[in-house]
Amino acid sequence: MTPDTALAVLSAHIEPGRAEQMAAYHKQTRTVLGIPNTATNDVTKEWRRTLSVSERVALADGLWQTDIFEARIAAAKLLTQARLRPDGDAWTLITSWVPDFDSWAIADHACMAGQKRITADLTRIEDIEAWTQSDHMWTRRAAMVITLPFAKQNFPKPHELDIRDRVLGWAATYVDDPDWFIQKSVAWWLRDLSKHDVERTNAFLANHGDRMKNFARKEAGKYLKTL
């Protein structure tokens, strides 16, 4: 399937008047077609079922290069799957997208695809470390979002706990960053962690919480009193 063919399939689900609303909500300057997320889900689910892994990687690459909002979302959804073999090319493609991140919806969908690939091969955490030093805010944020599965584990193994502590170390370097999205990414990670690891969450907030923005500190501790 070519990107043009895929775009034609997606475009069949355009809803009149929706593009303007989506562009405003997602603060997009790129082309937005006006396709509901549910339709994109259905289309990409069928593509995942019928296309080989190599075909999906090639199509995801082509869709991403169009720089159309829904096409980039669809590209990420094409590769969002726990079982993906072989997945080396998919991981390489996903990481190549990170410098292009410029809005939360596209970045989050791509990171969800990346989450599956990291949990499939934990050594890939090494690729993420350099992101935390990037001058590109969205790359620094992606380091937190793509590692969210390690905040959500109920019974992590010792090496998974090591990754949890490693990411918390990254978060500690982020707390002085004034950018809202960076503060939000730390808060998001801690909020999810608090449901599974109160001790580490409380320790982080005790050590670093006074340097976080008020909204982020409040978000991070949202569930602590009810646990």
Average pLDDT on 78-101 reads: 95
Q: Average pLDDT, whole number, for the chain?
A: 96
Which tens digits make up the pLDDT trace of 8-61? 999 999 999 999 999 999 999 999 999 999 999 999 999 999 999 999 999 999
3-state secondary structure the chain: CCHHHHHHHHHCCCCCCHHHHHHHHCCCCCCCCCCCHHHHHHHHHHHHHHCCHHHHHHHHHHHHHCCCHHHHHHHHHHCCCCCCCCCHHHHHHHHHHHHHCCCHHHHHHHHHHHHHHHHHCHHHHHHHHHHHHCCCHHHHHHHHHCCHHHHCCCCCCHHHHHHHHHHHHHHHHHCCCCCHHHHHHHHHHHHHHHCCCHHHHHHHHHHHHHHCCHHHHHHHCCCHHHC
60 near 93, Cβ under 8 Å?
Answer: yes
Which tens digits make up the pLDDT trace of 180-215? 999 999 999 999 999 999 999 999 999 999 999 999
Position 48 scores a pLDDT of 96
pLDDT band at 82 (very low <50, low <70, confident <90, very high): confident
Q: Which two tokens stand for residue 148?
A: 């969210």
80 near 41, Cβ under 8 Å?
Answer: no
Through-space distance between the first and last CA atoms of the chain, rounded to whole angstroms: 49
Position 226 scores a pLDDT of 52
Which tens digits make up the pLDDT trace of 135-163? 999 999 999 999 999 999 999 999 999 99
Position 225 scores a pLDDT of 74
Position 227 scores a pLDDT of 43
43 near 9, Cβ under 8 Å?
Answer: yes
Position 87 scores a pLDDT of 95
